[in-house]
Structures are given as structure tokens and as C-alpha cells.
């Protein structure tokens, strides 16, 4: 099994950049997208010619903003959007797909914004989202959490940690503590567990030509529960694949 996560920075833009051909190359059983930046009908229209996948989308109330999507060759038993909290459920950030043998949560975690203006909201989100995940974990079914978590956990996860710590969205102590909460719940950051000294990134700021200089951040993750950890899956960062300011990440069993 191969599962891909990819913040596409606009699904319609991605289609214009050859997204359909890239999907064929990736040959994934499940693809989790973040930041679709489109309404449900627009996502459906953009992906209507993608063959062999069941497609599920969750769009923000605000047009052209946020949004998540799951494409799955395996038909899930159920796909539930949002976390059932009104203050968080306006931005299309979460999908829970329930399969026979595992649960999968696709998430686009809120960015704390320029000058950290949404950091207080982000702190509240992290706590509420963790409580939501805890309810799913109670099913005792193996679980995969994936998506753009908008946080670099350790200094190795970004190119310039000292100049960004507690100054830039994605590397404040508040966000790092939110990530640690997931680890304390029993999730494993499988990429970092496998490659403790490897420095690869999944996001590069387009405004500063950061990708050309490889000045990036690792903020896209596969977090897995203990049952799946025992299966020793691999995680790869596909930095050679373009089409967004993020690159795909693959979990393979």
C-alpha cells in the first residue's frame, strides 16, 4: 500500500501544472490533499477525469481558501468531515476516512499567520484537534494521521531554526508543544524515527526562491499509531516532484 500526502496550493492550479500525470507516476492507493482552495463543486469539476479513485472533499465556507480532499482506490466505509466544533468547522480542514483495517485522518492545520496573529487560535485548535483524535483512537483500530501540520518539530526540520524560533509561524514553542502532544498521545513521526539525522524539507517559500536554494521546512507528516509502527513502514519525501510550494510525502507498506 502507498499513501501520499500533498499540499497542492490550489487543486485547479495543480491540474494546470500536470497533476493528473503526476498521480499516474505516484501510483498511490490513497492520496490526501490539502489547501485545495476551491468549493466542493469546483473540486469535483477539477478532478472529474481522474480515473480509478473514489473522491471525497471538504471545502471552506470562504471561497478560494483552505480545503482538503481524499482520493482513494479503496472505497472507505465512511468519510466524515470536520471535528464537530463550530468554531473550527468553517475552513474544511479535516477528513476522517474509516476503512475495515485502519482509520485515516487528513488534516490541513491552521497557519499561525504573519506576525503570529492567529497563534492564540492555533493553540486552541491544537488542543481541540488532539481531543478529536483521542476519540478516534478509542476505537483501538490502527490509525494514520497525515497532512500539512504547519509546524517544524525540531531544529533539523527547517533550514534556519535560530532566526525563526518564536518569531515565525510554524516554529514557535506553542506549535512545537502542540506537536509534542500528538507524540504523547502515542503517535509516531515515522520519517524522523527512521531517519534521525536526515535533513529534507517538504515546503519552500515561493516569494524568496527558497526551493532553488533548498531553504525549506519539513511541515508535512505521516504520524502513525503503535499497531502500524510495528509494521515498520517507510516514509519518503519526494522533493523532486514540483507543482506546488510543497512536495508530496509517501507512506509505503
Domain range annotation of the chain = 2-252
234: phi > 0 → left, psi -120 to 50 → alpha, else beta; which?
beta
DSSP H/E element including 229? helix 226-229
Distance of alpha carbon 149 from alpha carbon 175, whole angstroms: 9
Name residues whose C-beta falls within 8 Å of residue 192's C-beta, 6 or more positions apart in sequence.
153, 154, 157
For residue 160, say whether it is annotated as part of any ligand binding site: no
Catalytic residue selected from 108, 191, 201, 221: 108
Give the pLDDT of residue 208.
84
Domain 2-252 belongs in CATH node 3.40.50.1440: no
pLDDT given for residue 179 in this prediction? 98
The DSSP call for residue 246 is: B
Which residues are CB-neighbours of 168 under 8 A, at least 6 positions away?
none
**pLDDT of res. 207:** 84
Q: Is 108 a catalytic residue?
A: yes
At 42 the pLDDT is 97
Annotation marks residue 246 as catalytic: yes
Least Cα distance to 252 among 24, 21, 29 occurs for 29
Catalytic residue of the set 82, 148, 157, 220: 148
7 has binding-site annotation: yes
Active-site residue 221, yes or no?
no
User: Rounded to an integer, what distance in angstroms lies between the CA atom of residue 118 and that of residue 107?
Assistant: 18
Q: Confirm whether residue 41 is marked as ligand binding.
A: no
pTM above 0.95, yes or no: yes
Residue 43: alpha-carbon gap to chain centroid: 18
- Tell me the pLDDT of the chain (253 aa) as tens digits: 999 999 999 999 999 999 999 999 999 999 999 999 999 999 999 999 999 999 999 999 999 999 999 999 999 999 999 999 999 999 999 999 999 999 999 999 999 999 999 999 999 999 999 999 999 999 989 999 999 999 999 999 999 999 999 999 999 999 999 999 999 999 999 999 999 999 999 999 998 889 999 999 999 999 999 999 999 999 999 999 999 999 999 999 9
Q: Determine whether the annotation assigns residue 214 to a binding site.
A: no
Amino acid at each position: 500500500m502507498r499513501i501520499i500526502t500533498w499540499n497542492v496550493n490550489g487543486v485547479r492550479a495543480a491540474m494546470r501544472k500536470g497533476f493528473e500525470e503526476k498521480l499516474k507516476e505516484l501510483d498511490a492507493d490513497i492520496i490526501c490533499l490539502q489547501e485545495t482552495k476551491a468549493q466542493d463543486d469546483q473540486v469535483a469539476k477539477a478532478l472529474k477525469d481522474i480515473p480509478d479513485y473514489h473522491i471525497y472533499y471538504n471545502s471552506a465556507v470562504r471561497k478560494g481558501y483552505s480545503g482538503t480532499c481524499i482520493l482513494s482506490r479503496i472505497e472507505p466505509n465512511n468519510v466524515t468531515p470536520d471535528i464537530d466544533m463550530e468554531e473550527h468547522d468553517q475552513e474544511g480542514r479535516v477528513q476522517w476516512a474509516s476503512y475495515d483495517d485502519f482509520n485515516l485522518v487528513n488534516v490541513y492545520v491552521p497557519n499561525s499567520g504573519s506576525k503570529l496573529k492567529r497563534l492564540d487560535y492555533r493553540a486552541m485548535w491544537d488542543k481541540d484537534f488532539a481531543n478529536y483524535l483521542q476519540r478516534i483512537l478509542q476505537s483501538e483500530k490502527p490509525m494514520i494521521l497525515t497532512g500539512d501540520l504547519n509546524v517544524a518539530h525540531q531544529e533539523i526540520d527547517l533550514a534556519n531554526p535560530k532566526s525563526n524560533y518564536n518569531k515565525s509561524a510554524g516554529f514557535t514553542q506553542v506549535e512545537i508543544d502542540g506537536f509534542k502532544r500528538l507524540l504523547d498521545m502515542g503517535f509516531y513521526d515515522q520519517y524522523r524515527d527512521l531517519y534521525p539525522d536526515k535533513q529534507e524539507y517538504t515546503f519552500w517559500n515561493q516569494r524568496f526562491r527558497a526551493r532553488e536554494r533548498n531553504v525549506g521546512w519539513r511541515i508535512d507528516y505521516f504520524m502513525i499509531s503503535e499497531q502500524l509502527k510495528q509494521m515498520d513502514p517507510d516514509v519518503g519525501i519526494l522533493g523532486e516532484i514540483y507543482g506546488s510550494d510543497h512536495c508530496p510525502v509517501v507512506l509505503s507498506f
